[in-house]
Amino acid sequence: PALRGRIALRLEGDEALGDEGYRLTVDEDSVVLRASRPEGLFRGVQTLRQLLPASVEEPTAHPGPWRIPAGRIVDRPRFAWRGAMLDVARHFFTVAEVERYIDLLALYKINHLHLHLADDQGWRIMIRSWPNLAAHGGSTKVGGGPGGYYTQQDYAAIVAYARDRYVTVVPEIDMPGHTNAALASYPELNCNGVAPALYTGIEVGFSSLCVGSETTYLFVDDVVRELAELTPGPYLHLGGDEVKTLTHEEYVGFVERVQGIVAAHGKRMIGWEEVEQARLLPTSVAQVWRSGNAGAAAVRTGAKLILSPSARIYLDMQYDSTTTPGLHWAGYVEVRDAYDWDPATLVPGVGEAEILGVEAPLWTETVTDVHAIEFMAFPRLPGLAEIGWSPATARHWEDYRLRLAAHGRRWSALGVNYHRSPQVDWEDGERR
Ligand code: TNX
């Protein structure tokens, strides 16, 4: 009776809910949300938001009454890692733009934001011991023109904003390849001692740090130390993808040494799937991006996987041949392709227990502004969020496309630019 007419959020120990689970009870005159941890209450509030009419998301105040359906929900996630990656290297996005993306991630209970902070075309975070990385390496972008970088204060603001929404920021400095911006900033990182010009094209695989030089490892140690200090979470992503100029031995030696540097700074290494050629620690994580057997070798060393299969969930792929922007080297990825797959059957011989979770990367060679970010992420990203949260037995495309249809209104209310996929009968138009 004390709860009549109230919305109550209660922290109550309940082992069955884990860190992120919650119980929501809505009856005629009260709403009660219970969780073991504040994080669980936060996830439950996102469900409550989705039960309210779409107009609750509009920036202007509306009079009530606000009605939500009565019922009881007990909910917790299938996977601990539900991530989104944003490439701020090919094109740079401001702190405010990244924060807006974090808000949209949080609405769908995504709990990791992986920032791809350095690539051939740009270095986007100030490293105080190597300031020219940002000052020179961050000065341009794909297609040329001004780039940008985050000061450490800017970056700390992003991390704090995300943490307030129970989103962990995972920084990535890609190496030894994808490093032209660094090589252009410091001649001593190059085997021939000569800094190349800045690069504004979109080829991959041509650059590498000088893996035989001790200067390289002093550089990596400084970068990892400064990144670790800025990172509350346990993971640092060191890239490792698409290296075409090193021998197998050179590549493996580099990855193993970098893995040790990350561990020496108290963090765990994540790398793209190629790192499984090295001897991984059981605390390391490989991020699978192609199909086939990628990830199986990593699992044999005890490492866990993050699944980002490009043909399913690369948000930089075009929806079909008529939509822009985007690439299509992994195929066209329509809403159904992005939703209708199960992580536990992706890698032969790799089951649910070896999978940390799923992540949707958004590479930005062709994605130049926030409208384009939103168009590529919506509606595919909410599908990834559901794959990461809900059991496979609770997911069916025919049911999902009806539930998704109602979100068009919500995105319009939020001002989100989304792809009106022909696979969904959007309910957008009238309000409430
Ligand atoms: C491959 S996926 C890359 C990126 C590109 C992307 C474009 C991966 C680990 N590397 O460097 O941006 O394709 O789709």
Closest C-alpha to ligand 1, atom 12: 363
* Sign of the dihedral defined by the CA atoms of residues 97, 98, 100, 104, in that order: positive
* CA 54 to ligand 1 center in whole angstroms: 35
Give pLDDT tens digits along the chain (432 positions). Answer: 567 889 999 999 898 999 999 999 999 999 999 999 999 999 999 999 999 999 999 999 999 889 999 999 999 999 999 999 999 999 999 999 999 999 999 999 999 999 999 999 999 999 999 999 999 999 999 999 999 999 999 999 999 999 999 999 999 999 999 999 999 999 999 999 999 999 999 999 999 999 999 999 999 999 999 999 999 999 999 999 999 999 999 999 999 999 999 999 999 999 999 999 999 999 999 999 998 899 999 999 999 999 999 999 999 999 999 999 999 999 999 999 999 999 999 999 999 999 999 999 999 999 999 999 999 999 999 999 999 999 999 999 999 999 999 999 999 999 999 999 999 999 975 443
Q: Pick the closest to residue 390 from 403, 407, 373, 377 (CA basis).
A: 403
Q: Which residues of 256-266 are buried (b: 16+ CB within 10 A; e: fewer)?
A: eebbebbeebe
* CA 417 to ligand 1 center in whole angstroms: 24
| Atom of ligand 1 minimally distant from the CA of 239 | 9
**What is the pLDDT, as a whole number, of residue 201?**
98
The C-alpha atoms of residue 239 and residue 183 are separated, in whole angstroms, by 16
* CA 68 to ligand 1 center in whole angstroms: 42
* CA 365 to ligand 1 center in whole angstroms: 9
* CA 196 to ligand 1 center in whole angstroms: 22
Let me know: does 346 contact 307? Beta carbons within 8 Å.
yes
Percentage of the chain lying above the pLDDT 70 cut: 99
| Atom of ligand 1 minimally distant from the CA of 204 | 11
**What is the pLDDT, as a whole number, of residue 430?**
45
The C-alpha atoms of residue 46 and residue 69 are separated, in whole angstroms, by 15
Closest C-alpha to ligand 1, atom 10: 241
Those residues with Cβ within 8 angstroms of residue 96's Cβ, 6 or more apart along the chain or in another chain: none
In degrees, rounded to 5, the angle at the alpha carbon of residue 22 between the alpha carbons of residues 20 and 23 is: 170
| Atom of ligand 1 minimally distant from the CA of 178 | 11
* CA 363 to ligand 1 center in whole angstroms: 7
Let me know: does 303 contact 280? Beta carbons within 8 Å.
yes
Protein residues whose CB sits closer than 6 Å to any atom of ligand 1:
204, 241-242, 272, 289, 314, 316, 327, 363, 365
Cα–Cα distance list, 42 to 13, 109, 201 (Å): 15, 9, 42
**What is the pLDDT, as a whole number, of residue 91?**
98
Cα–Cα distance list, 255 to 270, 275, 280, 287, 406 (Å): 11, 7, 9, 14, 46
Residue from 328, 363, 365 whose mutation best tests the ligand 1 pocket (most atoms within 8 A of CB) = 363
Which residues are registered as beta bridge partners of 366? none
Let me know: does 186 contact 139? Beta carbons within 8 Å.
no
- Other beta carbons within 10 angstroms of residue 363's beta carbon come to 23
User: Kind of pairing, strands 22-27 and 71-75?
Assistant: antiparallel
Closest C-alpha to ligand 1, atom 4: 363
Let me know: does 133 contact 181? Beta carbons within 8 Å.
yes
- Other beta carbons within 10 angstroms of residue 69's beta carbon come to 6
- Taking the whole predicted model, whether its pTM rises above 0.85 is answered as yes
Q: In what helix (H) or strand (E) does residue 339 lie, and over which residues does it extend? A: helix 335-339
Residue 15 exposed, middle or buried by CB count within 10 Å (0-12, 13-18, 19+) = exposed
Q: Pick the closest to residue 374 from 112, 166, 43, 105 (CA basis).
A: 105
Q: Pick the closest to residue 298 from 226, 350, 335, 240 (CA basis).
A: 350
Q: Pick the closest to residue 147 from 92, 221, 77 (CA basis).
A: 92
Closest C-alpha to ligand 1, atom 11: 204
| Atom of ligand 1 minimally distant from the CA of 329 | 14
* CA 80 to ligand 1 center in whole angstroms: 24
**What is the pLDDT, as a whole number, of residue 13?**
86
Crossing angle between the packed helical segments 152-164 and 214-230, to the nearest 10 degrees: 50
**What is the pLDDT, as a whole number, of residue 1?**
54
Active site amino acids: 242
* CA 203 to ligand 1 center in whole angstroms: 10
**What is the pLDDT, as a whole number, of residue 431?**
42
Residue from 117, 203, 204, 316 whose mutation best tests the ligand 1 pocket (most atoms within 8 A of CB) = 204
Residue from 175, 237, 241 whose mutation best tests the ligand 1 pocket (most atoms within 8 A of CB) = 241
Render pLDDT for 186-244 as a digit per residue (tens, 0 to 9). Answer: 999 999 999 999 999 999 999 999 999 999 999 999 999 999 999 999 999 999 999 99
Closest C-alpha to ligand 1, atom 9: 241
Q: In what helix (H) or strand (E) does residue 296 lie, and over which residues does it extend? A: helix 296-300
The C-alpha atoms of residue 128 and residue 116 are separated, in whole angstroms, by 19
**What totals of helices (H) and strands (E) does the chain contain, helices first?**
14, 13
Q: What is the DSSP string of 351-405?
A: -GGGEEEEEEEE--SS--SHHHHHHHHTTHHHHHHHHHHS-GGG--HHHHHHHHH
**What is the pLDDT, as a whole number, of residue 64?**
84
Closest C-alpha to ligand 1, atom 5: 363
Let me know: does 132 contact 188? Beta carbons within 8 Å.
no
User: Kind of pairing, strands 22-27 and 30-35?
Assistant: antiparallel
Give residue for tokens 């219970």.
34
| Atom of ligand 1 minimally distant from the CA of 242 | 10
| Atom of ligand 1 minimally distant from the CA of 361 | 2
